Structure 1
């Protein structure tokens, strides 16, 4: 059934009004983050201090909820010392708790500005030299190294923070972004090895990331097995039994899917189809 005329206009107007209301509420909640005036919780990281609010942080995170309700946690203290945590990723946790989402737009822009277009400057001897345009945000050396990784790695780190701070919704969001990043771009071989090392351990609750990385590996089998920098070697699999077992199962399932969807097709060595 289609809405026509005045009914359709009213429906669209109501939708836009609802969207505007949601935007205003989200904007107001987001603006509370780091607002010292109403803050009742301080979170200290490596190089930054965040001013948060228990009613937002504790209702979204079982970790903060349990800590704040601990008899030893007094109002006068009201401080979490997370100096051993990475500021970049704790910031994403807090941003998610306040807005229901997160991104790396600010860091991407700063990294692009740092690596990107040059600005011409005149030196003392009169010569014109090129220098990087000043970034809108300065990245630490550690943050620069993070940004040099495949985007999926950043979302893996956010997922790990979601696990640590017991925020299931954040884990779901990070896992979804992780999958999207793997679909958009292949992981360079060296980074693929590092990611396998970190994700394929006996640590629980990382199955969504493992499944996504396995699917990515099978989709790009030729690239990782026979590309310029082959990493899927016998030695690689021997050294990583957890990944090797999961990889063999994924290949078997993929083979079964091909046979089911294309009866009579034979999967030749190297991933080619034949009859």
Structure 2
């Protein structure tokens, strides 16, 4: 990597870590979106895998609901994993210019939904059959773009679930999603020495960003942070989506 690329990658994980610490979500789409300004998408996805897995393992085990939440969401985790691997293996588009453009579209959709604060409500009874359907849809999107944010995150936020359980459930599910993505990228030969080392090194700026985000959350309004990051993500998505024109 060049010095410029290293600086962009470090900045991407600090900014994404701040979002993670301040509002609890957004690490993969923000980190990958910013990194693609300086490195190819396949490298950005490979670098993103290790720090994202690390933060989500901690998020998954920090709490008392690990087994209970896994039993609740195992069908979503399983179907998302299978769909991601199958779509990625069938299309082989992860890291391509077309995938980068579709990632931009997904970032636009995700940030727009979040900015509008649209929150459908899904009952526990409906959740039983919606979980596997949302898993298939989210895994398929991730198998094309490399990021599982739509419809996964809006769906999870629509459930009858308290804040602490939601944070822990997201950690559990992202372990499966990022694990499947890592496997798919490995099959495509996306990992090399440089981006593997980059992924390990990115744990440091990610941790710094999360710490800064947590401190900022205590000092200022989380809603203000959320809007700033989402507006930035919307602009980034529009820039990336121009590749489809």
Smaller-chain TM-score bracket: under 0.3
Higher strand proportion (structure 1 or 2): 1
TM-score by length of 2: 0.22
TM-score by length of 1: 0.20
Q: Please say which structure displays the higher CA radius of gyration.
A: 1
Q: Which has the higher contact order (CA 8 A, sep 6+)?
A: 2
Higher helix proportion (structure 1 or 2): 2
